[in-house]
Amino acid sequence: MAESCRRGLFVTLEGGEGAGKTTQIGLLGERLGAAGVDFIVTREPGGTPLAESIRHLLKDYREDPPNAKAELLLFLAARAQLVESVIRPALESGRWVVSDRFSDSTFAYQAYGRGLDLESVRQANAFACGALEPDMTFLLDLDPVRAVERRLGREAATGIAADRFETAGDGFHSRLRKGFLEMAGANPGRIKVVDASMSPREVSDEIWKYLAPII
């Protein structure tokens, strides 16, 4: 868990596309605020002006999309900036950090999904973020078929087109889920698997079950 009583808690939400991470971060923020927890929310890639620019290149730039290695390095560049500018200072000041994705997404997307060597990805990630690891991670697990249904419903309701990762194909998303679940099995103390097919409130209650005793 946290390194000392003075250090803030680092909480991440992970999962495939359409799992509901954004919704759950909003609900978690409401509960943390009501409990009097001093916290910040951030996202990956993003969270700083530089990292948000990289986010656009990764998710929406289609003229010359990055290959797997370039994609990995862009993600890690955004993470390095976010960790040093935002996450580490917040934790050291005693604030909690709640992040929409972190290193586990890189292992799932670029190693399991894109096929890059997992150990090489881990080493590169350790260099980018100084081996910083979340204290607790919630994996919102959702069947890829259900995720596509959610995405299509969102597109119909908002008119917002899917990004490069959302349209990467069934095989890619099946590999993502396999990777996330394998990591959760190897790290049961840190990664808590939550059934994302439940209602948003039920998912939120499940997450809060783990965090409330810490508060």
CA distances from 60 to 80, 134, 160 (A): 21, 27, 12
Q: Is residue 145 part of a domain?
A: yes
| Alpha helices by DSSP H, the chain | 21-34, 49-59, 68-82, 88-92, 103-106, 118-129, 144-158, 170-186, 200-211
Structure pTM?
Answer: 0.92
Provide the residue-wise pLDDT of the chain in tens; the chain has 215 residues.
444 457 999 999 999 988 999 999 999 999 999 999 999 999 999 999 999 999 999 988 778 889 999 999 999 999 999 999 999 999 999 999 999 999 999 999 999 999 999 999 999 999 999 989 999 999 999 999 888 887 777 777 887 777 888 888 899 999 999 999 999 999 999 999 999 999 999 999 999 999 999 99
User: Is there a contact between 144 and 159 (Cβ–Cβ < 8 Å)?
Assistant: no
CATH of the domain at 77: 3.40.50.300
**C-alpha to C-alpha distance for 83 and 47, rounded to whole angstroms:** 9
Q: Which residues contact 98 (CB under 8 A, 6 or more apart)?
A: 11, 12, 13, 25, 28, 29, 32, 39, 40, 41, 42
Domain that holds residue 111: 10-211
Burial zone of 187 (CB within 10 Å; 0-12 exposed, 13-18 middle, 19+ buried)? middle
Q: Is residue 125 part of a domain?
A: yes
Residue 4 in any domain: the answer is no
Q: Domain count of the chain?
A: 1
Chain centroid to CA 179: how far?
Answer: 14
